[in-house]
Structure 1
């Protein structure tokens, strides 16, 4: 019987082959995104840069200001190993980190940073080796210096990586100002223009800048400086006149993150590209970012080429005229600042390239700002036999990411390394400006997130780990607290109720570690009192019935209670009734600062026209015009700040120079980019992905910054004169410990649109050409206005359009079933305005307006439409 089965199986296979069918191989299926868990390990970082992971799992990571940290996943403890004295100006600082291949035995690590002390040749970035001990760093050894210009230049790069042969790669930026070449090729070689010429660096075979260097560190005195030797296969053999033997790749602009495939030896990096938003018939291609692959040493073209060898024109910066296009097969460095070879190696194509706008070649990468980064290649069999490692689906795939756009993609490659497919990794997961990533020996992905703002200590700058859960998935742990800062003793109510389990188990176990690694609490919502001042990283461990556990943490700062601020307002705190004048006084109390300092009190009085973002003002205490929101969501903060000059002028400087008449011109400049008018060091990056109306709103916001200061005294009176819109009185006090307390009084007209409701249930917001109404579709539907002051109010008037429906609009406080304070009859007329008495109430309440049906049968075609409400005294 078995022989008969085998014969039949052989016959079936032969039949399939001869009829053109093939037998499918075992292709791994894509794992569900829910099987990945992102865990925050450290959330107190100042510009994190690069990380490296030792064989024992300890993660080492650096901050640009000079901090070297470690995190031990076995103990969940962070340690500040050392704070280096570095030159952290412009784009320099502590930039690169790599562990020696034999780190487990020699404890050596390498760092690349700005040397704070200039030498005879001037400033430099320096590569040094250190030995890590239990108490810090010892045995500093300088390996390599990269001399550079210090003032008015950009692009430092600084990433480090080892290959399987013990060769160390170092990326360096072009050390050039891009701001006087209109976003195209910065190749201005006129006398005195050295910092505007990337041919002096990236295109110079005798210069270490704009390169990826490859050296072999050694302890033996085998090289002239006794610190490294030159591996075979670099771009220029040692001794070649007019070259540096350390160069592996030349023609780089800002190769910010690099990685080496330890199996193939291929080098990968992200190239942060130039700013031009449009192709030019006289200058060359628009800006592109690149993901590059070097299978061997080569020239990758900058500043003569970008993307897939799109050539620039040689440009005469005096005559403002273009010459011939650069030739990728035979690039010629004509610059008088060139100290190396004139004829360069042929230019190599980028692996992946994309502009600000849609990419014709790689549309899946989207649009927007650009900051390409190169990540690791994952090999499933290279990692320990650990259940949580990334699955075989990602085998042989390259991970790439973009700092600005916040995405991560995997790159599937053919056997020879050619690109086959791009695929978004965890598209529903937020990656907040990822700046480096690496796999541990267990096959878990670690990532540094830089945080929201460029060149800032961000509260959302973090070290995270992304774990894969095969089979029974670990639960997702959530943690919140009603207080994260305050004076000791500080009683805090924690909650993990947002935690959940993808596998739908009913019972989760919660274990809490508030100040130590010893269990200190259980349950989803414990309370803990911190009795001593300090900074505590409190953790919750959430475990499912099968023993799978996930942790999450929250940082608490104990030792200072936020001040209490109260505006004593002599009138209704929610409404104003025509032109009036109201007295007020701001009162501040502070638990620690027994006597408050009036200089620390700031009182602002804003008027916000109808239609502007009043909700944003209430949430932030600041005017949040649409244009401001658009600015914060854009990449503008990379070059501009509100008050201080950055790469470009501050927003306030711009606002002082221009008027309302300049709005169309400035909106056009935001979209198309161009040379700045402030100094010759500035160019406006293009934003072709923006809608014109959005660019216009951004300009309106900037110009609003020159309006008179809204700051007023702590005691006095304010005039309310506008018929529409909202007034805000915002009182703030910052104590000696830096904590902020505030109180906000928002006043709206007593007559306001129902569409301003904060929340609604079974009610639709219905827009018409001239107004908005709230459309009730069924019995029991409601809208809610949060925190309305009902003090002194006696009546409520409504405007209703409700053909054929009969019932009541009930005004209730606290909930849809709360106390009834007014009833407005609904009589089935086309339009009716009705005034009803209001039950006397004091203070703030959430007011619900509930429809109770008597006749008519509300449905999608037959609705009650509430247009406006008016409270009266």
Structure 2
């Protein structure tokens, strides 16, 4: 049973003592009130990567001596040693990781090596316990005990403590979390071992009662009192390898049609069991079903974070989340029965049930959330879901901690989310009721966190599974999160003026940006190490210049040390022996800053490579150079225009889609060319190649989610996406039907007419990109050179100006931009004035604001630089000036205030200075909607 919440000796009487007690316990409730602790700054935590490129890491076990064991699903046990910083495989357990369905198809399951925990008396007996899917024809999961001697897992010491019969005809849900209590009882989470992919109602309650469909009926397991699946089990392992049943489980020993090992029943896919050392309460995450609310079938799918204070039933498959109930469904007729399950009196009348018919009442989840924002817990966000769980922090659990987390986190539950990549801290009151939650390290995103535990020295260890399911990932890693309440490690920044070159060449390294949050003096050490062996070179200046004479790959590591000895490091790679190609994309006729719809510009691409030769000399063939010109809408953020996302010939038209995909959960289930939990993008593209209706259909499915096309795994719903954004993502994916998924490469020299795509605003951008990947060398891989030019719309938003003074921008009732006071200005950097004859302004001087009006002067290179144009005076509430228009309202086609420019060429910073000598210093001169540059040949351009 759980420990009592509080305990203590009777208190003596006395007025003074009463006052003290009143202050401590609270005058009204007489409950202990812990004084609020100050929240630590995020920069006092350091995330240290200990091991990378892991193969499906599942669970970790920090040992008291500082070593960390972690398991991978395919059976390996790895050990990280902090003394050496080395990670190595110390054992491999033979496990089953696949299932074979009735059609004879073998597929990847969720089975494997799933759980690890140490015995409470590990220091004496050296026992660890593993939970895994045993290899062999008999489908079963087992808890087995092994002896760990140093780094050796003694295989001959294996004793199977508990066996759990399973089915291996269909996926999914295995569980595997384990924890011991202070009485030596082992608690184990098990999944429902049921397929959620049921015909007609996939993603709702799997209750298919037809003969031969047991794998699709969770009533055989989770709601079966005579089955160990879909449960939280509690047993007491004995020294001889057997186990006994502790008192206080859900069903008294000897109760017919029950298993005495059951502590909690009615679980679906539970993860990462933890125990509160103060209360004895148990906590875990639970992954829920996928579908959306449907009358006659069931509620939204919910994931849960759960708390068990005592034995009980959490209701699956009859309820989910806050006891939201499903409807019964007849698979014989293919229709709902009209009967909704009763959380207070659940009944299991399935023919696959071998246990009791009448079940204990269902318990509500502690925290529940769905795909979209959940009103009870809005901080959970939206998107894909996969609740994991985590530890409850108590400082008293760490007797000899070197880096103990601060008391701000006392009694709080650290939870994490596999799909959304965050860690949350849940605050509970003294009765362990939910109070609030907050992000832990909110600027960090974790790559599919799958387990985390505190170590004996107070650090928080975390396993990140990585991007794709059922495979190793480059971003799968073991990390340690350290708290530093005193002197903080320096923050390291490093860069190099060149990262590749033909030998001999010199690299100037820079430590600029490296800082110390405690304002300590810093010392610098650069270590240049050949990757293929050899002698490292060390430099102790902040910004050394280093010669590279021998070809090869080098690692340059900067270590920054503060005055108190705290140090931190970062590295980058130097490629010596291959000069990167130099690519240029030049506009040879036309404006180099703006595009004008319907106008043609000429361009030429040049490529020079020290090893390969040049394009001009014919050493590099034009076909080897990727040239693309693409239009991006005005909503695109140019700061996200990252090169190389799809190779040297990447097309900018997919940059928005790539950003959306990167920020969603897509990468957890899909990769470009290899099947993961879901199909590869190339598979999807080939399947729908030539299907003109596929794009809209797939975009809607991205939003709604679902399964049935690619197998058993359901795709998460994404209700937060607009149809437009989902369509962009689908267009990117379908482009992989091409051998090289890009827009067709253009000639290296030619002309291009800037026609805006139908249905899109002309306020966007044309992206001109040229790229060439060289041949590389025996020691140095291929290097890519790339040049990107951006031609922007000549109609500019004043609030996005590069320089501003004396302006106000409000969004309270629509966007409004004001110039305030004479000599206020806005400015735009690097404008090509070649071929431009006028600048127009969509402006008005609103009478309601007592705007002063005024003129606009055009200056070059500074607000007081050469004057090249001036508008007529704009008067308060005056009708539009010559040139037409409609008072600066967005959507007009012609500006109402125009400045003719003196003949000017070249690239300049351009400033628009607002003038009215009679205006007060704080008086609005005018409201500005847009600025428009115009060509010499015409007085207007389209301004849709």
Question: TM-score, normalising length from structure 2?
Answer: 0.73
- Give the equivalent residue in structure 2 for 1:119: 136
- Give the equivalent residue in structure 2 for 1:326: 341
Q: Report the more deviating stretch, 54-63 or 513-522.
A: 513-522
Q: 1:30 aligns with which of 37, 58, 63?
A: 37
Q: Report the more deviating stretch, 386-395 or 145-154.
A: 145-154
- Give the equivalent residue in structure 1 for 2:118: 99
The superposition leaves residues 753-783 of structure 1 with CA deviations (integer Å, 9 ceiling, x where unpaired) of 4669784444869799999999798858554
Contact 2:327 2:336 in 1 (8 A): no
Q: CA deviation at 1:315?
A: 1.0
Q: 2:789 aligns with which of 739, 746, 757?
A: 746
1:79 and 1:599 mapped to 2: Cα distance? 49
Q: How does 1:461-860 map to 2 (within 5 A)?
A: 461-470=476-485, 472-475=486-489, 477-482=491-496, 493=509, 495=511, 497-501=513-517, 505=519, 507-509=521-523, 522=540, 525=543, 538=557, 540-543=559-562, 547=564, 549=566, 551-554=568-571, 556=573, 564=581, 566=583, 571=588, 578-579=599-600, 582=603, 584=605, 603=626, 605-611=628-634, 613=636, 615=638, 618-620=641-643, 621=650, 622-624=652-654, 629-639=659-669, 652=685, 663=696, 673=704, 676=707, 678=709, 681=712, 685-688=716-719, 690=720, 694-703=722-731, 705-706=733-734, 710-712=742-744, 720-724=752-756, 725-731=765-771, 733=773, 741-746=784-789, 748=791, 751=794, 753=796, 759-762=802-805, 783-785=827-829, 793=834, 797-800=838-841, 804-805=854-855, 807-811=857-861, 824-830=868-874, 831-838=897-904, 848-851=909-912, 856=917
Q: How does 1:34-183 map to 2 (within 5 A)?
A: 34=41, 36-42=44-50, 44-46=52-54, 47-64=56-73, 68-73=77-82, 76-79=85-88, 81=90, 89-104=108-123, 107-113=126-132, 118-122=135-139, 127-129=143-145, 137-139=153-155, 141=158, 143=160, 148-150=166-168, 153-180=171-198, 181-183=201-203
- Give the equivalent residue in structure 1 for 2:762: none
Q: CA deviation at 1:579?
A: 3.3
- Give the equivalent residue in structure 1 for 2:761: none
Q: CA deviation at 1:419?
A: 0.8
Contact 2:627 2:747 in 1 (8 A): no
- Give the equivalent residue in structure 1 for 2:350: 335
SS in 2 for 1:202: coil
- Give the equivalent residue in structure 2 for 1:4: none
Q: Report the more deviating stretch, 515-524 or 633-642.
A: 515-524
1:711 and 1:162 mapped to 2: Cα distance? 58
Q: CA deviation at 1:289?
A: 1.7
Change in CA separation of 1:476 and 1:49 when aligned onto 2, cut-off 3 Å? farther
- Give the equivalent residue in structure 2 for 1:395: 410
- Where in structure 1 are there 5+ consecutive unaligned residues? 1-6, 842-846
Does 2:293 correspond to 1:253? no
Contact 2:57 2:464 in 1 (8 A): yes
1:833 and 1:345 mapped to 2: Cα distance? 81
- Give the equivalent residue in structure 2 for 1:3: none
1:485 and 1:112 mapped to 2: Cα distance? 47
SS in 2 for 1:540: strand
Question: TM-score, normalising length from structure 1?
Answer: 0.78
Q: CA deviation at 1:810?
A: 0.8
2:341 and 2:205 mapped to 1: Cα distance? 11
Q: CA deviation at 1:316?
A: 0.8
- Give the equivalent residue in structure 2 for 1:204: 224
Contact 1:604 1:730 in 2 (8 A): yes
Does 2:928 correspond to 1:861? no
How many pairs are equivalent?
A: 830
Q: How does 1:294-443 map to 2 (within 5 A)?
A: 294-319=308-333, 320-363=335-378, 365-384=380-399, 386=401, 388-413=403-428, 417-426=431-440, 428-432=442-446, 433-443=448-458
The superposition leaves residues 166-186 of structure 1 with CA deviations (integer Å, 9 ceiling, x where unpaired) of 444333322333233243211
SS in 2 for 1:377: coil
Contact 2:552 2:576 in 1 (8 A): yes
Change in CA separation of 1:196 and 1:731 when aligned onto 2, cut-off 3 Å? farther
Contact 2:250 2:312 in 1 (8 A): yes
Contact 1:99 1:108 in 2 (8 A): yes
SS in 2 for 1:56: coil
- Give the equivalent residue in structure 1 for 2:646: none
Q: CA deviation at 1:87?
A: 5.8
Q: CA deviation at 1:269?
A: 0.6
SS in 2 for 1:185: coil
- Where in structure 2 are there 5+ consecutive unaligned residues? 1-13, 98-107, 613-618, 644-649, 757-764, 844-852, 875-896, 938-944
Contact 1:608 1:614 in 2 (8 A): no
1:444 and 1:832 mapped to 2: Cα distance? 65
Change in CA separation of 1:217 and 1:486 when aligned onto 2, cut-off 3 Å? farther
Change in CA separation of 1:779 and 1:419 when aligned onto 2, cut-off 3 Å? same
SS in 1 for 2:784: strand
Contact 2:657 2:732 in 1 (8 A): no
SS in 2 for 1:702: helix
- Give the equivalent residue in structure 1 for 2:5: none
Q: CA deviation at 1:187?
A: 1.1
Contact 1:298 1:347 in 2 (8 A): yes
The superposition leaves residues 473-532 of structure 1 with CA deviations (integer Å, 9 ceiling, x where unpaired) of 52552334348976999957253624341x5x3644556677699995556556678989
Contact 1:305 1:311 in 2 (8 A): yes
